[in-house]
Structure 1
């Protein structure tokens, strides 16, 4: 255990326990607190305890900004672990850039961003969208229907996938976007249009509670994953658990991590997590990034002995860690993470069967303006399992 002979190091934690994205963000909070616990039981930061100061922003971007400022000014933290949606990340970035804090962000996002006050630990589009598109176009079909929540990340993911579909000679049969807080009844017209147009598959960028609403409406309408699978960048083990494992079975997700990836590092980590949070607890791609980013920062804190951002950030850049997904590295140039893309299908037990994975960790390219398979070459290579 960390001794308490010196002042603890406080870190901010901003994940929503209420609101539309609470299902995923609760898992991210649990991962963060779990990793902080591991840091402390292994001696802390050179004997200093790592202490989380957590607030619930309620899935509201304005609250994220307000609470980030509170953490930085009133609570005296310099490092914030947090955010899921891009709107909340941008809200917190305003605070950390103004007050020279550091945001560690563990969610997949649309790219086209760089900040000296952020470390990006989730997948960029070249680490999930591209791999999913290649798999779908080669193994499922070329007639897509695009759906999602109406904000920047789903729209940008749509743009990238749309370009891939057209370059492969496919077509987009239709689109449907709904507000994050859309009621269940709002999904019925969308499902009706999908039934009329009969695409080969659905590319789904719903977020938060919307994931559950859409998949349940899909199943209630008699649509079947065997003939028309839903493919997503966001649907995780936590969402499958929330919607009902029978509802999620057969649908696909592209992510850097699934609980079922195997490997001793992952198996031991999941075992420790379940021992602390209960046997029914599940992990997911954002859980895993939220977990490993704490350890990456903790290692940098041990190395530098300070949470001063100007000293700490250079120690984070270029660092590596044996994460549950595999060995990751924080890119020295763009502060994004080298990760291991995978494509998987939900099983009847709520876990995922991995269909393909990258042979190596893929360098992040957050500035993927357009899809060019010739230019990408070997970087797109995925091995079917």
Structure 2
């Protein structure tokens, strides 16, 4: 029996503040009122990315490629005969706007799922609403882990799927002395906790660690510290417009990429295009996807997307490809939920609960076959390392020999293990919605 509006108004509660503290437990209330499907009617999804501000460089492409994927799916018949209808929002690179618009998309627009965010700060800003409404967020980029919710599906890599390979690779190729630079929020800091362990295991030495306000473009003081420390390479978790400024000032200050390259988790083809190829050339990125990846599926994806009305920025990159994959994970999940429950009984939470084990095959996925972990709902993928070339493309210099399982608690074994029903502590106790 469907809940009445009176029941909803009486029982539903929305937490509207951004939470940055790790391992915070939040209770689930109930399913979002009205977030259901009706046979033959459009399936509404919310696209919650920044089209303006400092995060627009990667996030505009996420909005564009989601529209491309939706058009592609709709042209092939949609889902169970219904088209997907995107509700597009500009989060304006403002965490308060992410939070406000997430509530609107869920409660006013009654979308069945959200696709959104690039930073962990914006993800954590909307998760209280997503979880209190027992809704569903597809988070389509890399993140730090140390999170176990029952309302998210993630299609990007975790720390054990990129920096775990990148750090020892750089130590072997360039030397043991490293300087960490990141944007000042939860993802860089938590990612660097992982990176420090990989660095220690590789016999490396951390010379310094600096964080820049998100959106800042002033790197003079940090570069002065790097000049004094003389590391063999820089490990960067700087994001958005700040990332572009960092690479440009690195070269303008006279640093030589062959003597001290930057190894990044974020600087891909779109950032390189925005900064100018000469500022990206020679540096490294760890990601599961690069535009130059050789496969018939990727060649078709790159050509078709760039020729489409959505390919205006002239390149593909890891973040948009992971967003593209999230559309097909959603399609498979909703089809599975419809088959199991019937169209009108499908809810956001039911889509999530049937999505464990879903695969996106190599004839659809540009990076090759991937699948959703049955317990933590992150993605099994093949990590890769690329070096930026003079033309802004990336040459893949290392590829993992097999798919790597996502492990959100890879350095926190004492905290527990993420399962489909919650975080299972060593003593067997289960906590739901840990962020």
TM-score greater than 0.5 by the shorter chain: yes
Question: In structure 2, what is the Cα distance between the partners aligned to 1:284 and 1:359?
Answer: 22
> Match for residue 323 of structure 2?
290
Aligned match of 2:51 = 17
Alpha-carbon distance between aligned partners in 2 of 1:133 and 1:345, rounded to the nearest angstrom: 14
Q: Is the 8 A contact 1:202 1:228 kept in 2?
A: yes
Cα separation, partners in 2 of 1:176 and 1:5, compared to 1, 3 Å? closer
- For these two proteins, the number of residue pairs brought into alignment is 366
Among 355, 360, 368, the alignment partner of 1:316 is 355
Cα distance in 1 for residues equivalent to 2:85 and 2:261: 43
Is the counterpart of residue 178 in structure 1 residue 212 in structure 2?
A: yes
Matched, 1:256 2:288: yes
> Would you say 1:97 and 2:131 are equivalent positions?
yes
Match of 2:381 among 339, 343, 347: 339
Q: Which residue of 1 aligns with 2:394?
A: 352
1:227 CA displacement = 0.8
Shift of 1:93: 1.2
- 1:56 matched to 2:98? The reply is no
> Which of the residues 187, 207, 222 maps onto 1:190?
222
CA contact (8 A) 1:203 1:232 kept: yes
Give the superposition deviation at 1:5: 8.8
User: Helix, strand or coil for the counterpart of 1:360?
Assistant: coil
Mean alpha-carbon deviation: is it higher for 271-280 or for 58-67? 271-280
**Displacement after TM superposition at 1:370 (Å):** 6.3
1:168 pairs with one of 202, 208, 211:
202
Q: Is the 8 A contact 2:43 2:112 kept in 1?
A: no
Asked if residue 39 in structure 1 is aligned to residue 98 in structure 2, the reply is: no
The counterpart of 1:202, out of the listed 217, 224, 234, is: 234
Partner of 1:143: 177
Query: Following the alignment from structure 2 to structure 1, what is the Cα–Cα distance between the partners of residues 203 and 134?
Result: 47
Specify the SS of the correspondent of 1:145: strand
- TM-fit CA distance, 1:279: 7.1
Larger radius of gyration: 2
Shift in Å, 1:115: 1.0
Asked whether 1:216 is paired with 2:255, we answer no
Cα distance in 2 for residues equivalent to 1:240 and 1:190 = 21
Shift of 1:309: 2.2
Are the counterparts in 1 of residues 207 and 229 from structure 2 also a CA contact under 8 Å? yes
| Alpha carbons 2:142, 2:158 under 8 Å: kept | yes
What is the deviation of 1:189? Answer: 1.4
Query: Equivalent residue for 1:246?
Result: 278
2:369 pairs, out of 327, 352, 367, with 327
CA distance in 1, matches of 2:135, 2:191: 29
Using the TM superposition, name which of 143-152 and 299-308 deviates more: 299-308
Cα offset, 1:176, TM superposition: 1.8
Q: Tell me the distance in 1 between the aligned counterparts of 2:203 and 2:94.
A: 40
| Contact 2:151–2:349, Cα closer than 8 Å, also in 1 | no
Which runs of no fewer than 5 residues in structure 2 stay unpaired?
Answer: 1-37, 414-435
Alignment correspondent of 2:99: 65
C-alpha RMSD of the superposition: 1.6
SS in 1 for 2:181: strand
Partners of 1:206 and 1:5 lie apart in 2 by 45
Q: Which residue of 1 aligns with 2:302?
A: 270
Tell me the secondary structure at the aligned position of residue 260 of structure 1.
coil
Cα deviation, residue 47, structure 1: 1.4
- Equivalent in the alignment of 1:225: 257
Measure, in 2, the Cα distance between the counterparts of 1:138 and 1:296.
36
Query: How many Å separate the matches in 2 of 1:99 and 1:166?
Result: 42
Give me the TM-score of the superposition, normalised by structure 1: 0.92
Q: Which residue of 2 aligns with 1:361?
A: 403
